[in-house]
Amino acid sequence: MHLNLASKTAVVTGASRGIGLATVRSLTEEGVRVVGAARTITPELEQTGAYAVSADLSTAEGVAHLMDRAYAELGGIDLLVNNVGAGDDVEPVGFLDTDDAQWARIFDLNLLSTVRASRAALPSLVERRGAIVNVSSVNSRLPAAGPVAYSAAKAALAALGKSLAEEFGPQGVRVNTVSPGVVRTAIWEDPDGFGGRVAAGAGAEHAAFLQRLPEAFGITTGRITEPQEVAALITFLLSDVAGNILGADYVIDGGTIKTL
């Protein structure tokens, strides 16, 4: 299958690791000129050949800095992947333990970063008849599976994708959402990250906790998703091969969600 992406330009947020890094690699392998953004630029991102921009995308100033640099480097934007999200400071706590500052921080990173980046990119995307993929989560459909503010932000992100598809689809811009389940990223694998904190809260050893994740989440395939599998889906949705797919929300979770 030829995706015909070699002449395109792209911006990928949350690009330093995990799904974002895998997406940058997938796009650059297809010949796309990529600007990859993250708060911290990793050696792995630099090695992809993408133009790396350090920016705090939880702030309006950070998104504006990124998009200014992207336009200067690329001249225009064909593709936008709004992948930044979660955040290392998300805590596995309940509703009553989540204060206003935490709600604001989580929504700034998981929702408003996408609002701001999309608003800045859309004039170019309309001109070039481009595409957006927003990375949400199965938490948007299984809100009890994670911290309440994170689940609510991801549900709002999925709704935003539908709205943007309806408004800008007639102008030639395709907007779709990808909702992964558990993915093999630092969020789960870092002993000091979210997964490590969940394991500690359950009184479990981290390595044993990771081994039990597929069973705990009811993953039919018996394994968690790899970042490159999500990246492959994102890359397909950005390509003209998916030219009549818009407003969709693709779940990639190994069968975690059992309902229609």
Q: Return the residue matching tokens 């969709």.
A: 248
With bands split at pLDDT 50, 70 and 90, how would you rate the model's confidence at 195?
A: confident
- Residue with the bigger pLDDT between 30 and 92: it is 30
In this prediction, residue 235 carries a pLDDT of 98
**Torsions phi, psi for 175 (to 5 deg):** -125, 125
pLDDT at 88: 67
Residues present in the chain in total = 260
Q: What's the pLDDT score for residue 257?
A: 97
Give the pLDDT confidence of 86-135 residue by residue, as tens digits. Answer: 766 778 889 999 999 999 999 999 999 999 999 999 999 999 999 999 99
In angstroms, the CA 184 to CA 45 distance is 17
Alpha carbons 9 and 71: distance in angstroms, whole number: 10
Strand ranges, E, within the chain = 9-13, 33-38, 51-54, 79-82, 131-135, 174-180, 249-252
Average pLDDT of the chain to the nearest whole number: 95
pLDDT of 193 reads 84
> Hey, what domains does the chain have and what are their CATH numbers?
9-183+226-252 (3.40.50.720)
pLDDT in tens, 6-19: 999 999 999 999 99
250 catalytic? Reply is: no
pLDDT band at 32 (very low <50, low <70, confident <90, very high): very high
Check residue 196 and give its pLDDT: 85
Mean pLDDT on 33-40: 97
pLDDT level of residue 256 (50, 70, 90 thresholds): very high
The percent of residues in the chain predicted with pLDDT above 90, rounded, is 85
Q: Are strands 249-252 and 131-135 parallel, antiparallel or unpaired?
A: unpaired
pLDDT tens digit string along 37-68?
999 999 999 999 999 999 999 999 999 999 99
pLDDT of 230 higher than 80: yes
Q: How confident is the model at residue 246 (pLDDT cuts 50, 70, 90)?
A: very high
Q: Are 173 and 125 in contact (CB under 8 A)?
A: yes
Say which residues have a Cβ less than 8 Å from residue 64's Cβ, sequence separation at least 6: 116, 120
C-alpha to C-alpha distances, 63 to 85, 150, 218, nearest whole angstrom: 13, 20, 37
Q: Is 154 exposed, middle or buried (0-12, 13-18, 19+ CB in 10 A)?
A: buried
Closest of 206, 202, 203, 175 to residue 189, by C-alpha: 206
pLDDT at 249: 98
Please answer whether residues 46 and 19 qualify as being in contact, where contact means their C-beta atoms are separated by less than 8 angstroms.
no
The half-sphere exposure of 115 on its side-chain side, counting CA atoms within 13 A, is: 15
Residue 99 tokens read as 């204060």
Cβ neighbors of 95 (< 8 A, separation 6 or more) are 148
Per annotation, catalytic residue among 51, 71, 150, 250: 150
Give bridge partners of residue 178 from the DSSP assignment: 135, 250
Give the number of other CB atoms < 10 A from CB of residue 226. 14
The rounded percent of the chain whose pLDDT value lies above 70 is 99
- The pTM (predicted TM-score) of the whole model is 0.96
State the first-to-last Cα distance of the chain, in angstroms, to the nearest integer: 29
